[in-house]
Every structure is written in C-alpha cells, then in structure tokens.
Structure 1
Amino acid sequence: MPELPEVERVRKIFDRVLTGKIIAEAEVVPDEIVLKGVDPSAFLSQLSGATVRGTGRKGKYWWLELGDRGCLFGHLGMAGWVREVGMDTVRIREQGNAPLDDEAGRPRFLKLRLRADDGREVVMTDGRRLARLWQGSSADQDEKVAALGRDSYTDLATVDELYTMLKKRKAPMKAILLDQKAFCGVGNWIADEVLYHAGIAPKRLGSSLTLDEVEVLREKLWWILDVAVQADADKDKFPGDWLFHSRWGGGKGEEFFHGEQLIREQVGGRTTAWVPSRQK
C-alpha cells in the first residue's frame, strides 16, 4: 500500500504538473467502487476547465485545490498510483514489472486522467479498485481528513505527547503505529522499519515503553519518513540496511537479515517482519 512518502510523491507530481494550470481535459473512468457510486459527470463538471490553485496531503490522503470548485480528494488504496504521462518510471512494489500501458498506448487500469493547458498529463491508475476519489468544499471541512490524527511528517507530536498517549495504550506497538489517529500516514512497511531501527519488538505494548524508548521511536520515525520523502519514494534510493529490502518475499517462517534471524508473522492483524535479536 502506498504510504506517506509515496503519497507525498504523488502530491508533488500533481503540484509540478498542474498547479497554476487550467485542466483542459479531464477523464474519469466509471467505477462504482473507486467513485463510491458517484456518476463520473459530477467529477467532470468540477474538473473540466478548472484552475488548480494548489495541492495538499495529510497522511495517505491527497487533494487538488480548485478555487470556487472546491477540492478533489484521493486515496490510493492498496495499489493505486499517479504518474506524469511519458515522464515517471518509478513504480510501487504492487505494480511489479507489468507494462504501464496497454497495446493501444492507454494507461492500464486507468481511473483518472487530467491534461493541463500546456499539454502535460497526469493519470491515476489502480488495478485492485481499492483507491478512492471524492469531492468536497475544502480540506478543512472534509470528514475523512478531519478524522485523521496529526501528520507524522509535517506535524509529528513531541516526545512527551507521544509518551503520554502511549502510556494509555494496551495494544501492540505494531497496531498502534498503524492507527491513523495516532500515527497518521504510517503503514505496514514504515511501521516495521521504525520498530526495527528503534529496537522495539512489534508485540510490545505501547504502555510498556519508557520515555527514552519513545524518544528513539520518534527520532527513527521522522528520520525514515524524511529519507523516504527526500528520495521521492524511490525504493532503489533507500539505504541498503533498511528492512524494506527484505521484508517481502517468502512467507511466514524463518529467514535471515544481515546474518540475523528474520521472522514474519501476524501482529495486529498485519504481516510483520522483525528481527528478535535486535528488537526487545
């Protein structure tokens, strides 16, 4: 699933290609799941001819600011992605090596296409139909955005705030990190990476962490997010000692990461990779 760094990359693409431009042409592919039953014509009325005033992101949600036409919001689901046509080659893992376009040159699994008045195009694709698009008046008034906690990259809570929050939580740290009210923008791979570098076992209860451990957790969380954001979510640019490069592949059971046992198991209902010799 695209997480905070991937969604920030998407926001930057929209910003680079569309901000300050008029949407000369819009295409919204009918999909009762992705559009949540809204007719594509409603989106076309909002988008066609609109000037993109800016872009935004909170956690895993992104949006386009369209002035008096409100905002277009999006969530990438498990395998959604956004790219500039003819320019971007970075893929998320879920896309594999499959062709980006079909034999006719049309983006595969297309859900949204926006062409700016200078001819540049952005497309959103999703082969699993778990992405979402919706309309609203503003980010400040959107219920989905309002339900999120503070963004873990741009508005990360202080050590004391995190410590106070975690002392009240009797859930495993892996599950807490995935709670979008607590750590907005963190997903499965980031949670595993943070816990690995912080030396915290995924099954540790939040309430068991010491103040020093919370300080390390916060430091590693922001560092991992910053490195990934600065790399534009290009996994080939992530540090070689990151668990990211080994957390997938294989199933549950025993493997090794830099010579140490790597375990894959379900924690908090999610597949979790961790190294017991380093995480306590």
Structure 2
Amino acid sequence: MPELAEVARIVHFIRKYLVDKTLSKVQVQHDDIVYGKAGTSAAEFQKAMQGKKITGAGQQGKYFWITMSSPPHAVMHFGMAGWLKIKDADTYYYRTDKPEDKEWPPKYWKFLLETDEDPKMEAAFVDFRRLARIRLVDCPADDIRNYTPLKENGPDPIADKDIVTENWLKEKLKSKKVPVKALLLDQANISGIGNWMGDEILYHAKIHPEQYSNTLSDDQIKQLHESIHYVCSTSVELLGDSDQFPEHWLFKHRWSKGKKNQPSVLPNGEKIVFLTVGGRTSAVVPSVQKKTGPVAKEISDEDAGDDKKANGTPAGGKRKRTAAQKEESDSEAEEADTAAKKTASKKQSKKDVKTEDTEEDKKSAAPVGRRRSTRTRK
C-alpha cells in the first residue's frame, strides 16, 4: 500500500504537471466500488471535474486531494495498489519495465483527465484491485481537512510537525496499552505511517514492535519521536524513490523474506526476522530492537479492556471505528481475503488433481506385484 512518502510523490507530480490547467476532457469508468463505497458515483465525479481548472493539490497521510476552481473537490486514497499515472512522466516510485506500464491509456483506469493548455497533459487514476477510493468533498478548498474522511484521521508528521511533538507523542503512547507498532499503524493516531515505514521507524528507534506503548521510557519516546521525523522527512524529500533511500535503512534489505537461499540480513550481518504484529508482518532486527518491557503478539481481552477504559470506551465493548479508519482497514481486509481465497483455490486444485490420479491408479493397478504409487504425477 502506498504510504506517506509514495503519496507525497504523486502530489509533487500533480503540482508540477496539472495545477493551473483546465480539464477539457474527463472520462470515467462506472465503478460502483471505487467510487460507490466512498459515497460518490463516476457520473458525479465527471460532472464535477469537467471544464474546471485545477488550482492545487494536498495530502494528509495516505489521503490526497485535487482542489478545483470551485467545489466539490476530489479526495482520493490509493488502497493497496492504486496509482495516478501522468503521460510521459515518471510518477512511479519504483522502476518498472513492464510493457503494460508504458501503454496509454493504461489498463484498469478509473478516470482519465486531459487538459487543453499547451503542452496538453493527460493523467489516469488506475487500480486493478479496486481497493482505491475516489470521492467528492463539497466545501471550500482550504477546509478540506475539516471534512470526512480527513477530519477523522490523526495529524500528518510532515504537514503537522507543530502537532506531532515529543510531548504529544508521549501522551498518545501513555494513554494506550497496545503494541507500539499497532499504535503507529492506526491512522486515527497519526496519518501516513504504514507497514514499511513503521518498521523503519522502530528499527532506527531501537524499539521492539511488540512492546506495549505505555511501557516505553522517556528516552525511548524521545528516540521514537526523532525517528518518526527522520524517516518521514527523508523518504518524502526523496519522493518515495526507494532507489535513493540510504543503504543502511532496513527497507533496503527486508525483501528476501520467503525466497530460498536468500537470508534476510543487514550488510553488517545482523539478522532480520519477521513477526506478526497487529495483523501485519513486521521486519525486526533482534540484536538492535531489544525488548525492554512487556510485549504482546495479540492483545488479551483484559488488556483491551484496560485500553478502552483509558479511552472512554466501556471495557469489553468495541471501539467505534470512524468511516476513514473503516475504509482503510476494509481495503486491507479485502486484500487479505482475496489472498486467502487464492491460496485455498490452489490447495483445492492440488487436492482435486491428487484425487483424480489416485482413482486412475486404482483402476489400472496391476493384479499382482507392488502396488502403484498414488502420488500426484508431474
């Protein structure tokens, strides 16, 4: 899922190529999921954008927006695999040589924008998994962050540096009893930090992701605060281009998980292990990220009750999710569900093949001698 840095990249390109240009042509795909689940229709989006001038672009965490010459304005979220392509511009945050990434219009587009000024620009919002969300927000451009879905989310560590202070972070951590990684990933607490950024921040802070947030020392909180701003500011300045990330970053060495004969290690030989924290796979360097307090893989009912009491929710009850939180968590849940179904389907196919081969072997088994193997044939 594109995180704070990757979204900052696309906002940069919108400002560079589209701001101050008038949309002469807007085409849409009538997708009742990408638009519909955000309370907008493709037709409404097309009508709102057609013929208007793009006046600006902004970001709060994983959400970004395009402001128009008059309301409503487009507020978007990439989900797991969405992106905004601009013709003849290198908007991708990773290198790609796939032929389909060069064609225009691109596959799986949800809207196409075309400007009438010289030079004419073309842009396309794409998402083959349909977990992205496109909506209209009817308000003055300067007030977008005061409306759903942005108002329900926490401060952005780049846009809101004056809010994300060490004291603010300390109060947030001490008020909850959850694994610190889970707290960082919760967009209601702080906007934009996703899985890889959370791991990178905790690695630089030398904090174990499973440790309860309310057990961190003042020194650890100070280091965590510094690491949040270091990782976020550095990755945003580099426009999310991972090729330019510092070589000593965990990001550069974490992707060999699951690959045979490719152990996950840092250049100095320190081993990278993988844990599940808050339902997400976390890359951890045990020799650096020591456990200095109570940790938890999953929160017990008793702990959840303590946390809910501290936050004004009755123990044993469920914390009410905001529309913005639900939207993002639903995207992740849908992605996980899709992966689970694919895995189940593959297992069933293998089982069916084995059953068919077994029946065939039984029918053709020799009457005497060694019994034929019922293994699946290659």
Tell me if both proteins adopt one fold, taking TM over 0.5 as the criterion. Answer: yes
For 1:51-70, what aligned pairs fall within 5 Å after superposition? Answer: 51-70=53-72
Give structure 1 stretches of 5+ with no counterpart: none
Q: Pick closer, same or farther for the CA change 1:96–1:191 going to 2, 3 Å.
A: farther
CA offset at residue 140 of structure 1?
Answer: 3.8
For 1:110-259, what aligned pairs fall within 5 Å after superposition? Answer: 110-118=109-117, 119-138=120-139, 139-156=144-161, 157-251=164-258, 255-258=264-267, 259=269
CA offset at residue 265 of structure 1?
Answer: 1.8
Q: Deviations over 1:59-88 (max 9, x none)?
A: 111111113232111000011111321121
Q: Which deviates the most, 29-38 or 12-21?
A: 29-38
2:132 and 2:240 mapped to 1: Cα distance? 19
Counterpart contact for 1:101–1:108, Cα < 8 Å: no
SS at 2:54 equivalent: coil
Alignment-derived partner of residue 78 in structure 2: 76
Which protein shows a greater Rg?
A: 2
Alignment-derived partner of residue 18 in structure 1: 18
For 1:67-106, what aligned pairs fall within 5 Å after superposition? Answer: 67-88=69-90, 90-92=92-94, 97=98, 99-102=100-103, 105-106=104-105
More helix as a share of residues: 2
CA offset at residue 24 of structure 1?
Answer: 1.1
Amino acid at match of 2:55: R
Alignment-derived partner of residue 51 in structure 2: 49
Amino acid at match of 2:115: A
1:112 and 1:142 mapped to 2: Cα distance? 23
SS at 2:88 equivalent: coil
TM-score by length of 1: 0.93
2:64 and 2:174 mapped to 1: Cα distance? 31
For 1:23-38, what aligned pairs fall within 5 Å after superposition? Answer: 23-36=23-36, 38=40
Q: Pick closer, same or farther for the CA change 1:77–1:251 going to 2, 3 Å.
A: same
Amino acid at match of 2:65: W
Q: Which deviates the most, 170-179 or 63-72?
A: 63-72
Amino acid at match of 1:77: G
TM-score by length of 2: 0.69
CA offset at residue 227 of structure 1?
Answer: 1.1
1:43 and 1:192 mapped to 2: Cα distance? 37
1:199 and 1:152 mapped to 2: Cα distance? 20
2:108 and 2:93 mapped to 1: Cα distance? 14
State whether structure 2 residue 283 is matched by structure 1 residue 273. yes
1:51 and 1:194 mapped to 2: Cα distance? 39
Q: Percent identity?
A: 35
Q: Pick closer, same or farther for the CA change 1:121–1:186 going to 2, 3 Å.
A: same
More RCO (CA 8 Å, sep 6+): 1
2:66 and 2:190 mapped to 1: Cα distance? 23
CA offset at residue 141 of structure 1?
Answer: 4.4
2:184 and 2:94 mapped to 1: Cα distance? 21
1:140 and 1:84 mapped to 2: Cα distance? 25
1:165 and 1:149 mapped to 2: Cα distance? 11
CA offset at residue 212 of structure 1?
Answer: 1.4
SS at 1:74 equivalent: strand
Q: What root-mean-square deviation, in Å, do the aligned CA atoms of Structure 1 and Structure 2 show?
A: 2.0
1:29 and 1:130 mapped to 2: Cα distance? 15
State whether structure 2 residue 272 is matched by structure 1 residue 262. yes
SS at 1:161 equivalent: helix
Q: Deviations over 1:133-157 (max 9, x none)?
A: 0001131442111101111212131
Amino acid at match of 1:177: L
Counterpart contact for 2:6–2:93, Cα < 8 Å: no
2:223 and 2:97 mapped to 1: Cα distance? 34
Q: Which deviates the most, 166-175 or 251-260?
A: 251-260
2:186 and 2:94 mapped to 1: Cα distance? 22
Q: Which deviates the most, 11-20 or 72-81?
A: 11-20
1:98 and 1:34 mapped to 2: Cα distance? 25
Q: Pick closer, same or farther for the CA change 1:222–1:97 going to 2, 3 Å.
A: farther
Counterpart contact for 2:11–2:57, Cα < 8 Å: yes
Q: Pick closer, same or farther for the CA change 1:97–1:217 going to 2, 3 Å.
A: farther
